[in-house]
Amino acid sequence: MSDLNKILESFCKIDGVKGAFLTDKDGQLREKIIEEGIELDLLKSFLYNSTKSGLDIAPDIQKDRLNQSYLEFEDMSLTSIILANDDILTIFSSSGVNLGRIRLEIRKNKKTIESLLD
């Protein structure tokens, strides 16, 4: 298992997390650890498009770079962080998950992931 996969797997050990995956700026999958039954294609496509929407809003609100996005549905949530090389790390979790914990883990691992992607 690659170091990257190990890190993704460590995210999945947080209670409520169902998957973690990395996509590049064009939305192509780079690495994934995800539970069965999750429609990854749709999810990937959605992430690509929603991130694009977020990036599109940035100039209008004069808030500079989009760093992170969070989407919450009744039954699940998605936390995405844009890495230094514009790849996107996304954590897929059930509703009610401890998002602070996810954020903490993301911050802890962000630099390592970025260095592995270089």
Interacting residues with another protein (CB under 8 A)? 1-2, 5, 8-10, 12-15, 17, 19, 26-36, 40-46, 48-50, 52-54, 56-58, 60-76, 79, 98-104, 107-108
> Are the C-beta atoms of 16 and 97 separated by less than 8 Å?
yes
The strand pairing partners of 90, in sequence order, are: 21, 80
- Least distance from another protein to the Cβ atom of residue 98, Å: 5
| Contacts of 18 by beta carbon, 8 Å cutoff, 6+ apart | 12, 34, 35, 38, 76, 92, 93, 94
- Least distance from another protein to the Cβ atom of residue 29, Å: 6
- Least distance from another protein to the Cβ atom of residue 73, Å: 6
